[in-house]
Structure 1
């Protein structure tokens, strides 16, 4: 079996680590040649894909791909791969393809006033990027139907893990404790993304799955807990309404919801890091937080 990860970045590398025991080859794309060596060191055969065109080498590699994981985000023009395929079935590019996974975001649900949402909840995206994600999900579902392929859509919450976490933010002075009344977020440890993708891969699962932790909470609580583990005084709390924020940063706080992960758990998947406290303790105690 040959797995291809389009956009083999932070999450893609974790997925590759979990897929390695199950496949004979893992390929992955990156936009620039300078990022190829890190992929190779992670057991991923690197290819360059700028999102605009497919070179001959990549097309030749696609001919043997059996499992596709698409991690590249859409833009105003849509999903980069589907835009290049057009109305043709996926087999026109990957004749041996058996299963597709699309990495999306819980942002597609939009704002639900802090209420719980699950895979059956209607999408009502707020931000431009979430509107684009909904369109990309719809396009992939249409493509999967055309191609007769099972499709797993993984809706991910805020991604963190070794190298990307509250410890690093405290270390470099960028950590903030923004307080907005009743605001909560979910998050997901990157290793759990890799494990969940491998779980769905093994079952050729079809459907939408929330890949997120089990304990949505106010974001400032995570910073406070990380500071306590480091023996530091946490940064002062700031009122969200008066804080200086970029438009993108402020837009994140326009979506307030609690995301349920019960569907994938009912299938038998167990999250290794279901809540942030045990996850932060593990990173700190095992000295892996710096990445």
Structure 2
């Protein structure tokens, strides 16, 4: 992904990979009575204080998982200040060493829910928020369990301008192989997919209540080493999961013969798990037209080949 312009009510909300924003604009509250990044000794303000001349855009990730970490690193390389949450001390320390301001939070753990108010106090002084926490069967969206607390906390001052929820193309269900765009009727075929759709609506509603520019990004399959504004985030080459796995296996076998020792039954089991997503070909036309996105890897073939090349360099 090369360029992602986020439209909405706030003209400063422009994200460009490989480009540092020169004029990030002014936050809604330049002189907040509380700023979580004030240095402890002497109370002097940090270089990223929003009331100072060196103020930079700030991104907060609720859930610093695989996708969020990639996005976070790209933004950090551009000069953004990036913070987020994780669910373990080990992960917090690991991400902290990478230069991210991390906060421990797990909405499913009662002993950690008490940390939510302080997390929200920190989060609201960021300019952008990405929600990357999946729903849980029997619970729904873990963070939205505390929707009223979210609403009341984030309404009180702060700099928040833009909210994004990372969803899944599973909300479309089985479409019989048809091309699917953002206007295609949703018909989730599993409980998790249905919970995704419910979460989408609730995050959009919360964004409206808070007066934020709010987007939903529906992600297709994620691979890698280790009429609201809804967008399908997929490449140009829709393919069934078994085809992607077969291509990846072929690349590995050619590069490192004998490396794959997985049995045929194990392969069939792994491929079979993808069938629950349903058959469809998801269109990314709106993403490219409205967000101005240029894909670095338009097909899973070039994406997987790039991964193999980088693995080779690391060995």
Tell me the TM-score normalised to structure 1 length. Answer: 0.74
Deviates more, 1:225-234 or 1:46-55: 225-234
Structure-2 separation of matches of 1:223 and 1:77 = 32
Deviation at 1:69, TM superposition (A): 0.6
- Would the aligned equivalents of 1:89 and 1:143 in 2 still touch at CA under 8 Å? no
- Root-mean-square deviation (Å): 3.0
Unaligned runs of 5+ residues in structure 2 are 1-56
Larger radius of gyration: 2
Q: How many residues of Structure 1 are paired with residues of Structure 2 in the alignment?
A: 245
Structure 1 pair 245–66 and aligned structure 2 pair: CA distance change class (3 A): closer
Query: Unaligned stretches of 5+ in structure 1?
Result: 164-205
Is 2:128 the partner of 1:106? Answer: no
Are 2:120 and 2:154, in contact at CA under 8 Å, matched by a contact in 1?
A: no
| Alignment match of 1:17 (pick from 68, 73, 88) | 73
Distance 1:290 1:74 in 2: 35
Q: 2:192 aligns with which of 124, 129, 133?
A: 129
Check whether the contact 1:65–1:97 (CA below 8 A) recurs between aligned residues: yes
Aligned to 1:81: 143
Counterpart for residue 180 of structure 1: none
- Confirm or deny: 8 A CA contact 2:240 2:279 kept in the other structure: no
What TM-score does the superposition give when structure 2 sets the normalisation length? 0.69
Return closer, same or farther for 1:288/1:137 CA change in 2, 3 Å cut-off: farther
1:225-275 residue CA offsets vs partner (Å, 9 max, x unmatched): 33333324787877x9xx6679xx647435111101111111321111111
- 1:225: which partner in 2? 247
* Residues 110 and 90 of structure 1, relative CA distance in 2, 3 Å threshold: farther
The answer as to 2:270 corresponding to 1:207 is: no
Instruction: State how far apart, in whole Å, the 2-side matches of 1:252 and 1:290 are.
Output: 33
Correspondent of 1:276 among 300, 304, 307: 300
Partner of 2:18: none
Conserved? CA contact 1:161–1:289, under 8 Å: no
C-alpha distance 22-226 of structure 1, shift in aligned 2 (>3 A): closer
In structure 2, what is the Cα distance between the partners aligned to 1:64 and 1:70?
16
CA distance in 2, matches of 1:93, 1:33: 30
| Bigger mean CA deviation after superposition, 259-268 or 105-114 | 259-268
Q: For 1:41-190, what aligned pairs fall within 5 Å after superposition?
A: 41-52=97-108, 53-55=113-115, 57-75=118-136, 76-86=138-148, 88=151, 91-92=154-155, 95-163=158-226
Structure 2 residue aligned with 1:36: 92
Give the SS at the match of 1:143: helix
- Using the TM superposition, give the Cα deviation of residue 66 of structure 1 relative to its aligned residue in structure 2, in angstroms: 1.6
Q: Which moved more, 1:125-134 or 1:34-43?
A: 34-43
> How much has 1:25 moved relative to structure 2?
2.0
8 Å Cα contact 2:131/2:166 also seen in 1: yes
Contact 2:132 2:165 in 1 (8 A): yes
Q: Decide which of 278, 286, 309 is 1:263's aligned counterpart.
A: 286
Give, in whole Å, the separation in 2 of the partners of 1:73 and 1:36. 19
CA contact (8 A) 1:28 1:44 kept: yes
**Which stretch of the first structure deviates more once superposed, 70-79 or 25-34?**
70-79
Q: Distance in 1 between matches of 2:190 and 2:199?
A: 14
